[in-house]
Amino acid sequence: MDQWVSAEAGHVAARFERDLAALVAVSSPSGDAAAFEECAAVAIALAPEEASVERPACSSPDHAPDLLLRVVGSGDARLLLLGHLDTVHAHGSHRSLERTGDRWVGSGSVDMKGGDVLALAVLRALADRRTDFAEVALLLVGDEEWRTSPFVHVERFAGWDACLCFEGGARNADGQEGVVVRRKAAGTLRVNARGRAAHSGSAPDRGRNALLALAAAAQAVAGCHDPEGPDHLTAVPTVMHAGDAFNVVPGAGDLVSDMRADDAAAFERVVAALPAEVGGATLHPEMVRVWPGMASTEHTGTLLARASAALGQTVAPMRRGGASDASHFAAAIPVTVDGLGPRGGAAHNPDEYILEESLATRAAVALALAQAALSR
């Protein structure tokens, strides 16, 4: 293994638990401005002294400004590091970091505060190599887990040499340490049903049942599910609300469905499959979120080869279905790689965790990729 990569990975591993505990201790669900400010303060404290601090506006209204940490050098390369500080965990279900066997368990640990800690460590390590780059920036946003507005940061970094995103890491089927170079597009479909309420005992036929209409819509969405098809489309109804009382025909309701596909155009087929009305209740679909896919395979081969040589083992390209902010940057920064964080599991669940044994290796993977990205 490259000497610098090995030495810096050791430094990262030595302080990782302490740094992660500080970040996970802050409960930071998407949209909580005060919580993001507290998280940002922790991140700034973990950043290198050389880093300047900027607070660009968040893409989502009514959120705290995002956090941008910049280190300027005298070289030529420009490298963007990327993460998010928000989680899906509500304050009432928040868990601070605790060790359970070989796991560090805590809210947002793998998605993605563990990755944020690694990104901050890479920024610190590169701050001592400022002749190798013109600028390294770490962007930490506060709305990745739920954003419906356009992502506003792409233009500023368009044309940079590489973007490295620190979502959770993984191994491939052969046991090699992997990084993500391909992601599906992601779409969130909301269907509003408009019916007519009526007493379900004395006048049920005067009603127009929104719940039954939404049930039909859910079946239509599920009927488009085709993960082995040409677009690898997944279409999954996930949330439905209709009705307020046990003895009233539901007059209105909503269905939410999650969709993923290689091409976002596949989502149009799902919308087209919905009936216009069911039993007199009308259905009104709306795409409330569409995120692009990511296809960086052909642009990242040289980078992964250099990183593999520095690491002394293969860094394998992988694909993943989950959405990520890396997808927004991939079109503007062709050399975009994701999945640089620690390995773990149970993301978005109460027992979310990071595997302790993955830390030193995943730190080395991230450092090797960062070093390779600065090579010309």
Mean pLDDT confidence for 350-364: 97
Give me the pLDDT at residue 325, please.
96
Peptide bond into 112 cis (omega under 30): yes
Mean pLDDT confidence for 101-110: 97
Superfamily of domain 3-184+293-374: Zn peptidases (3.40.630.10)
**Mean pLDDT over each residue of the chain, to the nearest integer:** 97
Give me the pLDDT at residue 145, please.
95
208 confidence band (pLDDT: 50, 70, 90)? very high
Over the stretch 146-197, which tens digit does the pLDDT of each residue have? 999 999 999 999 999 999 999 999 999 999 999 999 999 999 999 999 999 9
Over the stretch 216-257, which tens digit does the pLDDT of each residue have? 999 999 999 999 999 999 999 999 999 999 999 999 999 999
pLDDT of 322 higher than 90: no
Query: What is the CATH code for 185-291?
Result: 3.30.70.360
Give me the pLDDT at residue 321, please.
84
The percent of residues in the chain predicted with pLDDT above 90, rounded, is 98
Q: How far does the chain reach from its first CA to its final CA, in angstroms?
A: 20
pLDDT of 376 higher than 80: no
The percent of residues in the chain predicted with pLDDT above 70, rounded, is 100
Give me the pLDDT at residue 323, please.
84
Give me the pLDDT at residue 220, please.
98
Mean pLDDT confidence for 7-21: 96
47 confidence band (pLDDT: 50, 70, 90)? very high
pTM for this prediction:
0.92
Instruction: Domain ranges for the chain, please list them.
Output: 3-184+293-374, 185-291
40 confidence band (pLDDT: 50, 70, 90)? very high
Give me the pLDDT at residue 253, please.
98
